[in-house]
Structures are given as structure tokens and as C-alpha cells.
Structure 1
Amino acid sequence: MPKLTIHDLYQAKKEGRQLTEVRTGDVNEAIACAEAGVDIIMCMKDELAAIRAAVPDTFIISANKLDRPHIASPDQAISAGFELMNMGADAIYSGMSMKVVEAMSREYIPVVGHIGFVPYRSTWLGGTRAVGKTASEAIGVYEAAKAYQDAGAIGVEIEIVPAKVTEEIGKRLDIILMSMGSGSVGATVQYLFATDVLGTNTGHIPRHAKVYGNLAKEEARVQQLRVEAFKAFQDEVTGGAYPTAKHSLKIKDEEFEKFLTQLPK
């Protein structure tokens, strides 16, 4: 299947189709996503080059710490955005101000923003919680989505927002809504972290997440196999069982004798 384009994302919204997105943590997860048919992968810059090489036909959203203070101007954001695009990203994630998003969009850098619950801005909300359960907050989520759209962003991650609110926003705006715990109607993309999907999350599992695998148990079993193998190696070395003759390289007797004659006395 050919790689998705931004045009395809808008077409999916128009047709009411649901796409999938996974935040991967390494190349193996990205490869598994691609083989499973996941539509979009989200990764950070330090993973991007390897993941792009491994999954050339998957749409990738990447981030270059665009929400950190060291990128303080539109020009710096544009430079960082182009760097990611040159590394193989199809779009970049940015939760910065609208002037920065607009500057990148004017340079045809596809931007995905973030509305609703935004973890690194949670102090403004009083901590981790859903957003949009009151009329005033719901209007605020709508206005944030519209601001991103007006700034030229192609999409927004909409996180922990009531499904009915997402549905109404989706009806009124053209921007792609990427739902994380915010319902399906009105959203075009369903977004989860690989750690939750695979069952490797050892911390808090969000209510919206669904575990589809139990890799934590399997990884524990594999880790124990690693320990057992390394212990067997350790025991054989200390006990003299390894290496044996078959593990060692041989030299012909005549060559060895010549070698001995050339060694210093």
C-alpha cells in the first residue's frame, strides 16, 4: 500500500474513515506497526532516521523538542522543522504558539498541534485531568482547534476530551482530529502509545488506553532466559568447561615450531 499523503488524511476525514496512529519507542515497534498496517507512526527525532529507513512507506509524524524554550523564534522552528522533514518526517508535532505554527505552515511544513489535555502544560489545569467537561472548557478546546486551523496546521492531537465535544468540533472544522481518549465520531485518527497497546507500560495505564498484548510477561520470561544463558556461560568459564578444543583455532605443528624459533629468547 502506498504511503499516506496529507491529501489522503483530508480525504479520510471527508469520507468518515478511521485511521490509526501509534507512538513507537524503537525501530522494532515501528516495523511491527508497518507490518500490521498502522497508518501513522509518531516518533522523536533521535529515532527518526532509523525508523524512516526501516519503514519507508509509513506516514511519520516526528518532534524535535519544538516545545522546549531553546527554540524561541519562528525562524528557529522553521529550521528545526525542515531538519525533520529532510530526515524523513511527513509532518511535525508542535504545541508552540500560533505565530510559530503559522510561520512553519507558510513554509509548507505540515504541523500537528495539541489540544485538550496537554501533559507538559498540565500545571495550568491543576494536574492530569480531562478537559472540556464544562461548556466554557469545551468552547476553549474548540477555539484552540480553530486557532491551529487558522494558523495552517494540518491536524491536532485532541487528548482526553469528551467524545460529544470532539464530534461537534469535527463537524465545524476541516482540521484533522487525532483522538487520544476523545472518541471516534468527528475524529479521523485513533492514537495510542505502543507501550499501552503492547502491555509493556509499567506505570499508570490511562482509562482510554486498551491493552492488546501482554509483552511485559513475555519480556520478563525472555529476560530470565538471558540471565540463565549468561549464568551458564559464567559457570562454564570459571569451571573450565568453556572454551574447549572445538572453540579454539589450530595451527599446524611445523608452523608453530617456526613461530617458536622466531620468538625472543
Structure 2
Amino acid sequence: MSTTYKLDTSTSRANPTPQPMKRLTVPAIQRRKVEGVCAQPIVMLTAYTARTAQLLDAHCDMLLVGDSLGQVIYGLPSTVPVTLDMMCAHGAAVVRGSYHSVVVVDMPFGSYEASPEQAFASASRIMKETGAAAVKLEGGEAMAPTIAFLSARGIPVVGHVGLTPQAVNALGGYAARGRSDAEADKIVNDAKALDEAGAFAIVIEGVVEPIAIAATKAVTAPTIGIGASAQCDGQVLVTEDMLGMFERTARFVKRYETLADTIEKAAQQYAADVRDRSFPEAAQTYQPKS
């Protein structure tokens, strides 16, 4: 049995609830790709809270506690200011809220680039404090020794090539990558280097489609696309983007709902009910016992 947490709707508190042991594993994700083909595409979404994890878990193979929480949760201008403390707190919440998906936690900017030893210290802290199954880090060939170092010490790693948001200042923005021959070759070679170093999966973000397909074919690890190609071995989106929580989303996002409108309408109706004193009604108040 594994333990997850269910919200008690009468108290709004999270209580531990035993669940059947159904959590996927890193080797199970790796085995999806056989002889270059992933017959069952990998479904991945971001999650930052226990409740979101509960709602997504049954439908996903992997939940990513992305450093995108910097923008989505904290209103930061980029992922660069995100801290290890933030990632550990939200990672632990997502693990508590799930029992099926492989939970992966992003390593924030500045927590792994200096050396493999620094990366191990950060990654081991994440895994100890959150209970997650793996970490994710950005970067191509330069990060291959770090991935090899972590993998050899029992820390599963998801790589990330193409558009790497933590490098936004160096890249000069969030434009798609791989439009030049040199950059296209680099992306494919970066993916190969991470694959050879032991990454069990590789995110390919914001690259022109032929390059995403070429990188997917060039590696044995499953690739997970975001702004890449349906021919990647899986897909990931920021959940809040997919649900229409923001006015603007990237071109590669498909909106499956427009929850922002629903929330705003509910808040508007609540405000009107409070102001005309129609809320609370008798059903929402406590009356003396007769």
C-alpha cells in the first residue's frame, strides 16, 4: 500500500488515505520506448499543489513540479529567481497528492551548474524532502557529466534541451530554437549526449518540428515534447496554460478549458451576493438549537 492525501471537503484538511500501490516507476517509463518506438505515448503535466496532483494523477504517467511555478504561482518574471526551498515545498505537496504518476522535480537555476557535486547535494535534498522519483535539469552536452554523476549515484534524471527557460537571459527570449543548421545540429547532439550520460527521459522544448523528430529518433530515451512535435514520445504542458488560466499562452499550447472566465464569473457573483446581503443564506449559517 502507498499513502496519498485526500482533502476532507467538510474541513478542507488533507488526511492520509491508503491507496493501492499503482505508482509508475522510472524503469517503466524507460521501457515505453522499444527499438526507437514508444507505442504508448507518455502523458505529462505540471503540478504545484496537492489538490492539483490529485485531480491530474490518474490521467498522467508523469507529474512535473516545474520551476515554471515561479511565474504561475509566485508571479515572477522568469524561472531564474526560483529557489530550492520553493521546489522542495511544492514537490512534497505533489507527492502527497499523488499515488500513480512518476513525480519529477525541476532543479532551479543555480542549484546544479557549478559542479556535479553541487548538483548531487541539491538533487539528494530534493529527493529526501519531497519523496519524488526523479529530478530534471536543463542544458545540453555541458550537463552530460553531471547527469552521469547523478545517475551513477542512484538519482534518476530527466534532461532538457532546445529552449531552456533558465537560460532566457543568454538566449535573449523565448523564441523557437533550431532554425539555423548549426543550432539544429547542436540540439540533436545535445540530446545524444544526455542520452549517453544516462538521462531516462529528455524534454525537447520550443524547437522546429523536424529537429524534434530527428532528436527523438537519435536517442534511446523517451523524449517529451513541449512546442516540439507529436512525434515525440510524450507531451508536457503547463496545466494552468492548458486550462486557460492566463489571457495569453504560447503558440504551442492548446486550451482545453477557459477556467479563468469561470473563476472570474464566480467571484463576480459572490461579490454581488455579499454586497446585497443575499449571502450567507440560512443554509450557510449556524442557528440556535431548539
TM-score by length of 1: 0.80
Say which structure is richer in helix: 1
Deviation string, structure 1 residues 25-56 (Cα, Å, up to 9, x no partner)? 32222211124x12211114221222211212
> Any residues of structure 2 matched to 1:11-90 within 5 Å, and which?
11-14=31-34, 15-35=38-58, 37-43=59-65, 44-65=87-108, 67-68=109-110, 72-86=114-128, 87-90=130-133
Give 1:172 shift: 2.0
The residue number in structure 1 matching 2:156 is: 110
| Matching residue's letter, 1:5 | T
Structure-2 change in CA distance of 1:46 and 1:232 (3 Å): farther
The residue number in structure 2 matching 1:210 is: 254
Is residue 140 of structure 1 aligned with residue 186 of structure 2? yes
Give 1:234 shift: 11
Q: How far, CA to CA, are the matches of 1:85 and 1:74 in structure 2?
A: 16
Structure-2 change in CA distance of 1:159 and 1:108 (3 Å): same
Q: Is the 8 A contact 1:61 1:92 kept in 2?
A: yes
Is residue 195 of structure 1 aligned with residue 240 of structure 2? yes
The residue number in structure 1 matching 2:79 is: none
Give 1:160 shift: 1.3
Task: Choose 73-82 or 210-219, whichever is displaced more.
Answer: 73-82
Structure-2 change in CA distance of 1:233 and 1:53 (3 Å): farther
The number of equivalent residue pairs is: 240
Q: Percent identity?
A: 24
TM-score by length of 2: 0.73
Q: What is the DSSP-based 3-state SS (H/G/I as helix, E as strand, rest coil) of the residue aligned with 1:2?
A: coil
Give 1:62 shift: 0.7
Give 1:182 shift: 0.6
Q: What is the DSSP-based 3-state SS (H/G/I as helix, E as strand, rest coil) of the residue aligned with 1:223?
A: helix
> Any residues of structure 2 matched to 1:150-169 within 5 Å, and which?
150-169=196-215
Unmatched 5+ stretches in structure 1: 237-241, 251-265
Give 1:70 shift: 8.0
Q: How far, CA to CA, are the matches of 2:107 and 2:276 in structure 1?
A: 44
